[in-house]
Structure 1
Amino acid sequence: MAEKFQPLSVSKLADSYDAVIIGSGGTGLSAAIQAHELGLKVAVFEKEAELGGNTNRASSGMNAAETNVQLQHGVIDNVADFYHETYKDGGRLNDKDMLGYFVYHTAPAIDWLADHGIKLDDITVTGGMSKKRTHRPASMAPIGGFLVKSLLDVVAKEDIPVFNKTKVTSLVRDDEGRIDGVKVNANGLIKTIGAKAVILATGGFGASKEYIERFRPDLKDYKTTNQPGATGDGLKLAENVGAELMQMNLVQVHPTVQQDHPHVYLIGEAVRGEGAILVNAQGKRFVNELNTRKIVSNSITALPEHSAYLIFDQGIRDRAKAIEFYDKTGLVVHGDTIEDLAKKLKMDPDTLTQTVATWNKAVEGHNDAEFGRTTGMDRGITKPGFFAIHIAPAIHYTMGGIHITPKTQVLDGNGDVIKGLFAAGEVAGGLHGNNRVGGNSIAETVVFGRQAGQQVTLYVRKQK
């Protein structure tokens, strides 16, 4: 086991940096590495004790089109298809310029990671996508923890300063309105730190009762898959200097979340991507499991129980390694046969057996006459044992956020750039429209994290 990354002691805080990056998830770490490699003196500030933010919880993978990895797996893809599918899945509310920048920079982002020894050599599919675009490590380990650990290895090697328990309380402006520093509370030490530019990489507001109640009161009683720190701090910092927030009512509910325990567990889309089906309390399918998250979530909420069961076999389990973790945590119901599993779920064994038989026939003929599913049909549910996970929808991702340009510059209410302030990742709005596609958020962290690192470098070079 490699040694755990150690953040620096607050006594090592300098009085100023070229760029301060707020947040240590995939976006913040990618931005820091990119800016550092371009010659900037940077520091990463994380308010929580643990590094990695919500990225740690991502399980499926990182979407990218026209990659060499896809070709190695025999998948011939097209960036334009990736664009059009994401635009359609986002209800055509995506910022087209941001989306265009995004799709064309996903393959270079995969290469950039590989150049840093971070290889995503396996692929799977998530909802709303017609091709296998979701890149993940060959070990099939959940992408989030893998990416955070790997990026922190690069950060350690390159000696980039990272401080935890360091909360930015406000942004500092000069007489001309440019952002030129931050005020921090670093584990009790209050300090103002100069910065030629600041990148907000603070994540979304999925765990903020205040923001959810303000923009989506209908969701205020929903549980969330987010880590407790996802409270929209970056949005507050930005609002306080006049930044515009956009599409804040667009909040994604994830369809498959295990909520029967005190801790809420997101069951990654890869489980369905590898062939799992969803059934209601009677043991019948009721939806194309790989439709967009919005449609699948709404279909589950419409059931009388507002919950459903993921059904899968050992063959699917072998292809989705996260299931081992779910099982260790006690989330998985086991059966030796489908009948046995049905009894444990208090379902009619004949109904569930019939549902699975019909599905296996659909897989064989590659024709799901019932619900028109066309992806995640590489294997049926045939290999003993048989398993189920009880799931229901929960708040997962906030598509809205700070209004930015494709260059990650933050805009005010007049559409003018707030100089010296940049934002990327879930804290920024616009990329995903009204529904984020699984695998696109990790891609966003790397694509726009790198973009922020590059744009901050251009900005700082002009200041010098």
Structure 2
Amino acid sequence: MRRFRLGLLMAAVLMVMSATALWAAEGKGSLVELHKGKAKCADCHGSGKKIAVDDSEASVNKGCIGCHGTLEEMGKHSKEEVNPHRSHLGEINCTACHHGHTASYVYCLNCHSFDMKIPAGGAKAAEKAPAKQKGKMRTEKADVVVIGAGAAGFTTAITAHDAGAKVVIIEKQPITGGNSMLAAGGMNAAETVFQKKKGIKDSVELMYKDTMVGGGELNDPALAMILAKNSASSVDWLTSLGADLSDVGRMGGASVDRTHRPKGGSAVGAHIINVLRKNAADRKIDIRMNSKVVKIVEDAKGNVTGVVVEGKHSGPYTINAKAVVITAGGFSANPERVAYYRPEYKGMTTSNQPGATGDGIDLGTAVGADVKDMKEIQIHPTVAAGSRILITEAVRGNGAILVNQEGKRFVNELTTRDKASAAILAQTGKSAYLVFDEGVRQSLKQIDGYFHLDLVQQGATVRGLAAALKVPADALEATIANYNKAVETKTDAEFKRPDMPRPLKTPKYYAIAVKPGVHYTMGGLKITTESEVVAKDGKPIPGLFAAGEGTGGVHGKNRLGGNSISQTVTFGRIAGASAVKCVKGVK
């Protein structure tokens, strides 16, 4: 008979049965208490003399699944309106939410505000005292260490692995995916096979021009050109790994349709991350969660030689490596740092996951790295009011309009994010409504998720929607009628919207209340076109590379929607290839 193992999605589990391993009180309010008489310590920790848990808590997770089943299986039994076992986060460890010695906490609540109950749960995530080092610090070896397991980190690791390197990915969060997991709209790329199949005429030069104009010409031209020039091959690379990027739409600042996403317009980020996770798993790449790099190590000549890691359970240890790649993202979830660079954004909500605090930038500057464009912080115009949920720009791209409290349009909905955000902040209540109809809803699969999250108000008619929103009905009717006329004549005389794919004529009519929120940091570590991190003296730091949001220069003053995933994959591939050249001593 199979032994009953420590519960569904258990976490932080049973590190050591002593007070030195605990920050919160042991026993009460934990899964240990719930499982008394039903399970033994060995069910999670093994039967050896040494009671321990790996930092990623993978061994404990197997115990949870062995008793309770997989997330997919558990999802079939969940009765909640929002199913916690089926989400965009994908296949994650049970221990991301369920803890053994501290109160359990729903990881989703870092971003959402659901009234979710969890066995042995607490009001917030419990903190745990760092594991103590016993004896001499252990040392391991790798060819390449990648800091951060988002799209840039996975791409870097897979590229380096496939070139023959031994790779270790270090991720401080209990799950992988980073901000990339939340990316919704799509991935910009020019001259792709999918554009050609649809008869879309685009060019590298046009994508480069759009990127530079959108960034206020503050972009590093060489980096912006690499983004555009390599974008199609990045789509090809993802496709070769199993990704579906066959749907092509448009987002703000683009001159043509070049935003690639899965068929039907599904969210791009979760799809790509799940593809990258699978490919990393198939390659057996060493991924360590609940582990934080606290120091980049250099030799006397300034060459990077490895990192010091603080493991949740294992404590501090060193990994010697010939190349280190920082892919830890930006700092939009660090409100103090955001306010330091942009005081006017103090107190503004963020759409980012909790790990986006700028740690990678700090690690780089600690070894002399230069930074670029740190004050360039993007606020996204459409974060659902009262939440941290980003309403993808693709909703506007597929035909939705922005309407103020007076029931009137006030901006070109496909302008750049900085201009759209400024326009919303100038309206009554510093907010707006994203208005669309059943036709727009059916054109973009991910819109269904906003209904599921209860973010949408609706009406059988335009007047019915106006009543639900408490805006002037005559004004809203006139606004939609004028917009539909602009669609028919293909000319938006009032706001110069360049693309109006469909009229708003199909009942029902819908609206989502939105406000701007901190979304993206364009600044970060200064890099070369080979993803080498540049020191303050203008020279690359030997052995140190970076890719993704934690680097500066690609986007300038403002990132175009769809350019982020393109950046992470393109520069992740470059960083992985450059790191391997460093390992092999190739110049």
TM-score after normalising by structure 1: 0.96
What corresponds to 1:51 in structure 2? 176
Rg larger in 1 or in 2?
A: 2
**Per chain length, whose mean CA-contact separation is higher, i.e. which structure has more relative contact order (CA < 8 Å, sep 6+)?**
1
**Among candidates 227, 235, 239, match of residue 353 of structure 2:** 227
For 1:33-432, list aligned pairs within 5 A.
33-188=158-313, 189-260=315-386, 263-375=387-499, 377-432=500-555
What one-letter code is carried by the residue in structure 2 that aligns with 1:182?
V
| Shift in Å, 1:5 | 6.0
In 2, are the aligned partners of 1:5 and 1:156 still within 8 Å (CA)? no
Structure 2 distance, partners of 1:299, 1:209, is 23
Please state whether the residue corresponding to 1:456 is helix, strand or coil: helix
Q: Quote the RMSD (CA, aligned, Å).
A: 1.7
Question: Of Structure 1 and Structure 2, which has the larger fraction of its residues in strand?
Answer: 1
Structure 1 runs of 4+ off > 2 angstroms?
Answer: 1-8
Aligned length: 458
Structure 2 distance, partners of 1:371, 1:4, is 44
| Shift in Å, 1:14 | 7.8
Q: Is 1:460 matched with 2:583?
A: yes
Q: What are the ranges of 5 or more consecutive residues in structure 2 without an aligned counterpart?
A: 1-71, 74-89, 96-130, 132-137
Structure 1 distance, partners of 2:533, 2:336, is 23
In 2, are the aligned partners of 1:7 and 1:162 still within 8 Å (CA)? no
Structure 2 distance, partners of 1:180, 1:7, is 34
In 2, are the aligned partners of 1:7 and 1:164 still within 8 Å (CA)? no
Q: Deviations over 1:266-324 (max 9, x none)?
A: 10000000000001101100000000001100011111310000000011011122211
Change in Cα spacing, 1:54 to 1:348, as seen in structure 2 (3 Å) is same
Structure 2 distance, partners of 1:92, 1:221, is 29
| Shift in Å, 1:348 | 1.3
In 2, are the aligned partners of 1:7 and 1:161 still within 8 Å (CA)? no
What one-letter code is carried by the residue in structure 1 that aligns with 2:529?
P
In 1, are the aligned partners of 2:146 and 2:168 still within 8 Å (CA)? yes
Q: Is 1:20 matched with 2:145?
A: yes
In 1, are the aligned partners of 2:93 and 2:175 still within 8 Å (CA)? no
| Shift in Å, 1:7 | 11
| Shift in Å, 1:161 | 1.2
| Shift in Å, 1:112 | 0.6
In 1, are the aligned partners of 2:335 and 2:347 still within 8 Å (CA)? no
TM-score after normalising by structure 2: 0.76
Structure 1 distance, partners of 2:246, 2:330, is 28
Q: What are the ranges of 5 or more consecutive residues in structure 1 without an aligned counterpart?
A: none
Q: Deviations over 1:187-225 (max 9, x none)?
A: 132111111110000000001123213211221211111
Structure 2 distance, partners of 1:166, 1:427, is 19
What one-letter code is carried by the residue in structure 2 that aligns with 1:4?
E
What one-letter code is carried by the residue in structure 2 that aligns with 1:350?
D
Please state whether the residue corresponding to 1:129 is helix, strand or coil: coil
Change in Cα spacing, 1:222 to 1:97, as seen in structure 2 (3 Å) is same
What one-letter code is carried by the residue in structure 2 that aligns with 1:151?
L
| Shift in Å, 1:259 | 2.6
Structure 1 distance, partners of 2:480, 2:91, is 44
Structure 2 distance, partners of 1:393, 1:133, is 25
Q: Deviations over 1:390-448 (max 9, x none)?
A: 00101000000001111110111111111111011000000000000000000001000
In 2, are the aligned partners of 1:21 and 1:43 still within 8 Å (CA)? yes
Structure 2 distance, partners of 1:433, 1:165, is 33
| Shift in Å, 1:31 | 0.5
